[in-house]
Structure 1
Amino acid sequence: MKQLFSMVIWVFGIFLTILLYLAVLFFVITLYPIDKKRKVAHAQCYWWSDILTHFNPYWNIRINGLENIDKKKTYVIVANHESLVDIIILYRIKTQFKWVAKESLFKVPFIGWCLSLTKHIKLERGEFSSIKKVYRIAAQWLRRDISVLFFPEGTRSETGGMNEFQNGAFKLAIKEKRPILPIRLTGTRDAIPKGGRRFSANIYCALTVLPAIDTSGLGSGDFEKLKDEVRSKLEAVSA
């Protein structure tokens, strides 16, 4: 029964992702001269996320703290990372942003093509030149008033606890004088455990948007303090 449930979710998810790709492609082509930031194309992911998460009757997902997002501001968004499901649920915040995602994800049919079409930021792990390029592109998007989303752990947690945070997102926020928007995800690890492909049933997940953290008074040497503050706030969020 569990295998059948997982198969139904996968088939429906693939079908919906193909529709998403066609919608994104349509708006990229038709609005190319007037929507170079790909905002309309990005917004197609909102209905995709809503349908995928509401379709599954066995998943209970709570979205908290949306009032902490000021649509007029540009953020460096920092979220913990537990599962592939994080990517689906994070679109529920319905905010314009560019992901920083590993290169291999861009090669996945349909969803990876959507990432490329909507100009998300590709990271080649282990390549120093790629890391420098990522932060250069991220800074350019921030200056164009588009938020950038990082998973500072760099990879999904296997335990539910948070891995060590990398420094880049925090250095970037200070350099560009942009507030950090922390987002805590809980319970998603149980939906699809790392290394697994089967969707689980009866899952309770939560996405919590915390109040933004101002960086305007910080200098380049304060990134460790900022990183520790963000991590502390994320860890304080209960499931």
Structure 2
Amino acid sequence: MPSSLLYFLKFLTNMLMRILMFWRFLYSIYFHLAKTLVIIFFGGSIILVCSLLTLFFVPRPIRETVSYHMGVAWGSTILFLSGIRVQFYNEAALEPGKHYVFAGNHQSSFDIYLFFKYLPQSFRWIAKKELLYIPFLGWAMYFMGQVFVPRSDSQKAAFALKKALEKIKAGISIAIFPEGTRSPDGNLLPFKPGAFALARLSRLDIVPVVIKNAHRVAPKGKFVLDPRVKVELKILKTLSHKDKEAAEKVRDYYLEELKQK
């Protein structure tokens, strides 16, 4: 076989392999993108309808119980559809009938679903107002009675804090991300003071919740999922709302857990 023909065949084979790899890459991207869209809009539409039905047709005395189980079902469904594997640990001895401030580190948009599935009691989110404008997710959270905080308006933020305190007085726990936003690389961001101020004002003890590897499943700024990564969620021992060093201790707990392999 002439060397020129052999060279041409090698070149052609190499080009075909590159084209196949490129198309495989595109397929992977669009498959994960389509899967993400289905999860968000299908799961979100279900919980939106259920939230409205609960709001208008479920009697008030049992509405909170129904809302809790609805949140568990929502979180479980989204995590199941996404294929995300979760390792769950619970070190907290929570007292029945007592309410808490659940404070978690924030790594991805899926942290919300992890909280809904694994927290052992009903709660309300203290969430940034921008979530309200996300189709289905934001609407569902609104009808479920979550508290949205505008970060750029201190007066409205104070009003939102007052609403949170009213919910606490009504016998509801609160969940909040002290960092205020997602970490793009999984490293801990500076804390906002709101979570710990809320614990002091409401006299609710703090339950640290640590999430690991979620930033690798659904990275900030990317609209695709990578379900090959195992996520860990751990509920740690409670801290008293009277502890003046609660913020520092929670941060130390997070750092200690996040550095463990």
**Would the TM-score normalized by the shorter structure come out above 0.5?**
yes
**Which of residues 15, 21, 42 in structure 1 aligns to 2:42?**
15
SS at match of 1:185: strand
Shift of residue 74, structure 1, vs aligned partner? 0.6
Partner residue of 2:249?
229
Mapped to 1, the partners of 2:230 and 2:60 lie a distance apart of: 43
Counterpart mapping for 1:176-187 below 5 A: 176-187=202-213
**Deviation, structure 1 residue 94:** 4.1
Q: Is the 8 A contact 2:91 2:237 kept in 1?
A: no
More helix by share: 2
Aligned to 1:208: 234
CA contact (8 A) 1:46 1:94 kept: no
Tell me by how many angstroms 1:60 deviates: 1.9
Aligned position for 1:64: 89
- Which residue of the other structure, out of 193, 199, 215, is the alignment partner of 1:189? 215
- The aligned amino acid for 2:53 is F
Amino acid at match of 1:55: L
- 8 A contact 1:184–1:234 mirrored in 2: yes
Give secondary structure in 2 for the equivalent of 1:196. coil
Contact 2:124–2:146 at 8 Å: present in 1 too?
yes
Residues 26-58 of structure 1 show CA distances to partners (whole Å, capped at 9, x for unaligned) of 11111254456x44234312112112212334x
TM-score normalised by length of structure 1: 0.89
1:169 maps to 195
Alpha-carbon distance in structure 1 between the residues aligned to 2:166 and 2:89? 30
Q: Does the C-alpha gap of structure 1 residues 32 and 111 become closer, same or farther in structure 2, counting only changes over 3 Å?
A: farther
Q: Matched residue of 2:207: which SS?
A: strand
User: Which deviates more, 14-23 or 191-200?
Assistant: 14-23
Q: Using the alignment, how far apart are the partners of 1:170 and 1:131 within structure 2? A: 15
Q: Any conservation in 2 of the 1:43–1:94 contact (CA below 8 Å)?
A: no
Q: Where does the alignment leave 5 or more consecutive residues of structure 2 unmatched? A: 1-26
The separation in 2 between residues aligned to 1:42 and 1:28, in whole angstroms, is 13
Q: Which whole-Å CA distance do the structure 2 matches of 1:214 and 1:33 have between them? A: 31
Q: Share of identical aligned residues, percent?
A: 21
The 1:32–1:67 alpha-carbon spacing in structure 2 relative to 1, beyond 3 Å, is same
Q: Please report the RMSD computed on the Cα atoms of aligned residues, expressed in angstroms.
A: 1.9
**Residues 32 and 108 of structure 1: CA distance in aligned 2, closer, same or farther (over 3 Å):** farther
Residue pairs, 1:42-81, within 5 angstroms: 42-57=68-83, 59-65=84-90, 68-81=93-106
Asked if residue 26 in structure 1 is aligned to residue 53 in structure 2, the reply is yes
C-alpha distance in 2 between matches for 1:193 and 1:12: 16
In 2, distance between residues paired with 1:154 and 1:67?
Answer: 24
- 1:155-183 CA deviation, whole Å, 9 max, x = no partner? 11122111011112112212322100100
